[in-house]
Amino acid sequence: MSRSLSRDIQRSGNRIGRNINIALRAERVIARRRMAVIRSQTGLLAFAGLVAGIGVIMLNVAVFFWLANNYGNAPAAGIVAAANFAIAVLLGVLASRMSAEKELEPVLEVRDLAMEDIEGEVGDALAEAKDLADNVRRMAKDPFGSAGVSLIGPALSILAKTLKK
């Protein structure tokens, strides 16, 4: 009985350890993917900021030329500035729509399954420990009552052998 119990405990410990390892690996993959998305978003937003900055400069130059020359080189600079703003808006929208959630669905499922299995294993281990504690209490209260049932079979066989002689 104690060998099978120790094997079950060791097997449960191995499963719990394996599931914790799986959950940690899944968390690492999730974190790496989210960081990659954040890096991409940051790069695109920085570039959008640069383009917007250039657009602001060009808009200022365009307003200046427009005021200075009354419709000379200013329309061209204004068109360039408007194009820069359009590019900045497009890059900002593109960066805000990036998400890692679709790519992470399978990894999230694996993590959740591992966590559920860990919770189940811990619950089973707690139930076994409670049963063991109840059995120890029962044996402490009535040592011969619990041992008597298991000793009846061998005692009868010894008695039967003795009577046959």
Q: Is the dihedral of CA 15, 18, 22, 23 positive or negative?
A: positive
Cβ 37 vs Cβ 100: under 8 Å: yes
pLDDT average, residue stretch 17-31:
85
Confidence of residue 115 (pLDDT cuts 50, 70, 90): confident
pTM: 0.42
Domain carrying residue 65:
2-164
Number of domains in the chain: 1
User: Coil, strand, or helix at residue 62?
Assistant: helix
pLDDT value of position 147: 61
pLDDT value of position 1: 47
Which burial class, exposed, middle or buried, applies to 52 when counting CB atoms under 10 A from its CB (0-12, 13-18, 19+)?
A: middle
User: Coil, strand, or helix at residue 158?
Assistant: helix
Q: What angle do CA 152, 158, 160 make, to 5 degrees?
A: 100
Q: Who wins on pLDDT, 108 or 45?
A: 45
